[in-house]
Amino acid sequence: VRDVAIAGVGLIKFGRYPDKHVDDLAAEAVLEACKDAGIPFKDVQFLVSGNVYQSHAMVGQRILHKIGQTGIPVVNVANACATGSTAVREAYLAVASGAYDIAVGVGSEQMGKMGLLGGRIEDPYGRGLISEGFVGSGTMPAVFSQMGVEHMRKYGTTFEQFAKVAYKNHKHSVHNPNAQYQQEFSLQEIMNARMISWPNTLYMCCPTGDGAGAAVLVAADRARQYTSKPVFVAASVLTSDPWQERDLAMFDVNTLTRLAAQQAYEQAGIGPEDLDAVELHDCFATAELLHYDNLMLCPEGEAGRLIDDGDVFLGGRIPVNPSGGLLSRGHPLGATGPCGIAEIVWQLRGESGGRQVEGAKAGLAHVIGLGSACTVHIMKR
């Protein structure tokens, strides 16, 4: 496998864009990433586009139609919430293969104010695009609350500990200009907010919205040609659910993430103790806490202590979601993957401003998609 580096990343500010189409948002992120890499779009040799709601509708080619049709191969991918990170990974594999020296992975989604409700989803802006949730037995708040309740039962985790996760991420978000919401809440405000599904209150659930993000992958041995601050992909892993029997109603998010994390640490040749920053899939506050265990940031069952001790706050031992995570950024499905990757890239370059982890040398970005797909990327300076 040829070594691969990230030469540039780009995100748009997440929010509501009823006047734009999803390919407009995605094109903006691609151009931003190319600008960051100092690579003109005409030099890009391969494009992988991730989108869920319009995965059948050639979003990747529509991006080229907006930017410039260069005739390059375009692939559209979908992998639930891991759609965008899967797109980056397919671009990574294509560069690793030696077939291309410069590839772009982009993820985008336009949800408007719709959620993923398990039923039929109309285009949020009434333009006739129709999709279908693939949720099955439950809605997302219910599924991830169940997992939290199970963690409480098994390890004695408390409502307050889950709430602290949201407190931390909203606190971090104040320094992230790309977040949809950049607002700090007190722990009491979070705990007293409207209960959505016990133990997750309103501020402990990620908002919906529109967004896009992209990364430019290049052959590592040519990386310094494009950028003075290349970030190397030390591991790029994707897993699916390894079990027929499932712990919970829907899928075993824990086993799925553990499998990906184990493979990623092995591939990168480093352990969780070597990480300086982690961006993980905090679709709900309960989810983030589970993943402290799953990504082996602490001994199993001690996730509650990790948040209580302040280890995962900016300034702590292993800051988690310095960007503010999905809880503040929002979670337009296909757009989420590149965000964590971009944040780690910025952290490793020392460009994260008020949310910078000083001297960060290695970081991890994790995304989990229902039904099932888990990606873990480890990046190093």
Identify which of residues 1 and 249 has a Cβ nearer to a second copy in the complex.
Answer: 1
Identify which of residues 73 and 177 has a Cβ nearer to a second copy in the complex.
Answer: 73
Token digits for 368? 């989990």
Closest residue by Cα to residue 307 from 320, 294, 296:
320
State how far the Cα of 287 lies from the Cα of 129, in Å rounded to an integer.
30
State how far the Cα of 239 lies from the Cα of 142, in Å rounded to an integer.
24
State how far the Cα of 38 lies from the Cα of 67, in Å rounded to an integer.
16
Q: Is 42 in the site for a second copy (CB under 8 A)?
A: no
Report the relative pairing of strands 210-219 and 200-201 from DSSP bridges: unpaired
Identify which of residues 76 and 197 has a Cβ nearer to a second copy in the complex.
Answer: 76
The question of whether 175 is a catalytic residue gets the answer: no
Q: How far is the CB of 328 from a second copy (least distance, A)?
A: 26
Report the relative pairing of strands 373-380 and 362-369 from DSSP bridges: antiparallel
Identify which of residues 113 and 246 has a Cβ nearer to a second copy in the complex.
Answer: 246
Q: Is 373 in the site for a second copy (CB under 8 A)?
A: yes
Q: Is 215 in the site for a second copy (CB under 8 A)?
A: no
Identify which of residues 2 and 154 has a Cβ nearer to a second copy in the complex.
Answer: 2
**Near a second copy by CB under 8 A: residue from 31, 45, 131, 182:** 131
Token digits for 286? 């309960």
Whole-Å CA distances, 5 to 2, 230, 283: 10, 6, 28
Site string for a second copy, 166-195 (x = CB under 8 A): ------------------------------
Identify which of residues 253 and 307 has a Cβ nearer to a second copy in the complex.
Answer: 253
Q: How far is the CB of 218 from a second copy (least distance, A)?
A: 15
Element (H, E) at 47: strand 46-50
**Per the residue annotation, which of 34, 81, 205, 298 is the catalytic one?**
81
Q: How far is the CB of 88 from a second copy (least distance, A)?
A: 12
**Per the residue annotation, which of 172, 331, 366, 377 is the catalytic one?**
331
Q: Is 241 in the site for a second copy (CB under 8 A)?
A: yes
SS3 54: coil
Site string for a second copy, 80-119 (x = CB under 8 A): x-----x---x--xx-xxxx--------------------
Cβ within 8 Å of residue 22, ≥6 positions away: 51, 53, 54, 59, 108, 109, 110, 210, 212
Q: How far is the CB of 355 from a second copy (least distance, A)?
A: 31
Report the relative pairing of strands 102-110 and 210-219 from DSSP bridges: antiparallel
Closest residue by Cα to residue 216 from 332, 100, 321, 331:
100
Identify which of residues 171 and 258 has a Cβ nearer to a second copy in the complex.
Answer: 258
Q: How far is the CB of 63 from a second copy (least distance, A)?
A: 10
Q: Is 314 in the site for a second copy (CB under 8 A)?
A: no
Whole-Å CA distances, 35 to 11, 93, 217: 12, 22, 13
Q: Is 249 in the site for a second copy (CB under 8 A)?
A: no
Size of the site for a second copy (CB under 8 A): 52
The question of whether 34 is a catalytic residue gets the answer: no
Identify which of residues 233 and 348 has a Cβ nearer to a second copy in the complex.
Answer: 233
- What residues are paired with 376 via a beta bridge? 237, 366
**Near a second copy by CB under 8 A: residue from 13, 15, 72, 247:** 72
Q: How far is the CB of 144 from a second copy (least distance, A)?
A: 18
**Near a second copy by CB under 8 A: residue from 42, 56, 113, 224:** 56
DSSP string, 198-253: TTEEGGGB----EEEEEEEEEEGGGHHHH-SS-EEEEEEEEE----SS-SSSS--H
State how far the Cα of 296 lies from the Cα of 273, in Å rounded to an integer.
9
Catalytic residues: 81, 331
Which stretches of the chain bind a second copy, using CB under 8 A? Answer: 1-2, 52-53, 55-58, 60-61, 64, 68-80, 86, 90, 93-94, 96-99, 120, 128-132, 134, 237-244, 256, 259, 371-373
